């Protein structure tokens, strides 16, 4: 990120993750749908979120969702971060405001 006119701006190809950290933008066409879970003897666990059992007994995320690193299905907007402008404590930062570029 960089500081522009007193605002922290994420670099091109990144945006805030909701915790004021710049992360790469998710490409929905290439995100992982596989949760790593199986449903051979039971349905997909509820904690996986919006997952369904495939005919090959794998738990995969529904359309519009991607598996995070813990195997939980998250909406693309959750993974990308949708915060566009949020005030943060300027005492902890040289840039008092964050903005998605």
Nearest to 86 by CA among 13, 5, 16: 16
The 10s digit of each residue's pLDDT in 49-91 is 999 999 999 999 998 888 888 999 988 766 654 333 333 333 4
pTM score = 0.53
Over the stretch 4-47, which tens digit does the pLDDT of each residue have? 676 777 777 677 666 677 766 666 566 889 999 999 999 999 99
DSSP structure class, residue 98: E
Distance CA 85, CA 22 (A): 13
């Amino acid at each position: 990120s960089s500081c522009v006119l007193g605002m922290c701006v994420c670099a091109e190809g990144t945006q805030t993750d909701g915790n004021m950290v710049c992360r790469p933008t998710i490409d929905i066409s290439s995100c992982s749908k596989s949760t790593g879970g199986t449903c051979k003897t039971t349905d997909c666990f509820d904690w996986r979120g919006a997952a369904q059992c495939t005919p090959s007994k794998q738990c995969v995320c529904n359309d519009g969702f991607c598996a995070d690193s813990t195997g939980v299905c998250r909406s693309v907007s959750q993974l990308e971060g949708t915060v566009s402008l949020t005030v943060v404590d300027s005492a902890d930062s040289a840039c008092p405001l964050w903005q998605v570029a």
